[in-house]
Amino acid sequence: MTNRYEALIFDNDGVLVEPTDTAVLVDAVVEAFHAFGVDIDRSRARHTVEDDIVPREIAAEHGIDPEAFWHYRELTASLAQQHHVLAGGKPMYEDVAALTRLDIPRAVVSNNQHATIEFLLAHHDLPVFETAYGREPTLAGAAKRKPESDYIERALSDLGVENALYIGDSEKDLVAAHRAGIDSAFLRRDHVADIDLSTEPTIDVPSLHALTERLSAVEPEQQR
């Protein structure tokens, strides 16, 4: 079945490595506002993290340039995650090793910061990915996050392919894949095991082991 796809593109958080502890990101948002002289309520900071909000209105309330704030916030969040990883956070899932069984080009496209993705790939010595994209630390970069398909389309261009499978763990991943015109796989790990989807994935699997087995299976017409 691997010859059905020219490449595999993976989300990062919740797919290759465990999701970031929300408290780490909330601390980063609070720290970023503090650097601009604003003491933001922690519950409000948590809201921006949990709902993946670019806090333009909050910045405007306090006379902060949104672009400057967002750039600083992204840097702070990336460094916070890197320190968290060095302290043992965001471990790699054990089934990532299964990907080495697939002889097919691979890429990473994540909504996390690009600097964070580069750090994680190096720190965990993840299987070779030909290209990787995280969001750029700008408001324009934030606007291109999934469910938009911009970064997936960049990865497809880098790989020189059109027919690929995107593997993610959220509704946004499925929508982004659909917008990019490619198939999607929903990785139903423990943190999303019971989630109801309104967008139907092409493949629904509980692990990367199951995914590699599915992709490695020989289809009946190939056996003839």
167-199 confidence digits (pLDDT tens)? 999 999 999 999 999 999 999 999 999 999 999
Q: How much is the pLDDT for 217?
A: 81
> What is residue 218's predicted lDDT score, i.e. its pLDDT?
52
pLDDT reported for residue 188: 97
- Pairing type for strands 131-135 and 106-113 reads parallel
Q: H or E segment at 195?
A: none
Residue 92's pLDDT is what?
97
- Counting residues of the chain whose pLDDT is more than 90, the rounded percentage is 88
Q: Which architecture does CATH list for 2-18+91-223? A: 3-Layer(aba) Sandwich (3.40)
pLDDT tens track for 45-93: 999 999 999 988 889 889 999 999 999 999 999 999 999 999 999 999 9
Domain limits, the chain: 2-18+91-223, 22-86
Residue 172, SS3?
Answer: helix
CB 187 within 8 A of CB 167: yes
Class of domain 22-86: mainly alpha
Q: Who's near 91: CB < 8 A, 6+ residues apart?
A: 17, 18
Residue 128 has pLDDT above 90, yes or no: no
From residue 2, give the alpha-carbon distance in Å to each of 6, 56, 102, 203, 214: 8, 43, 8, 13, 9
Decide if pLDDT at 101 tops 70: yes
Residues 186 and 197: beta-carbon distance below 8 Å: yes
pLDDT at 15 over 80: yes
User: What would the mean pLDDT of 34-45 be, rounded to a whole number?
Assistant: 95
Mean pLDDT of 122-143: 94
User: In a 3-state reduction of DSSP, which class is residue 94?
Assistant: helix
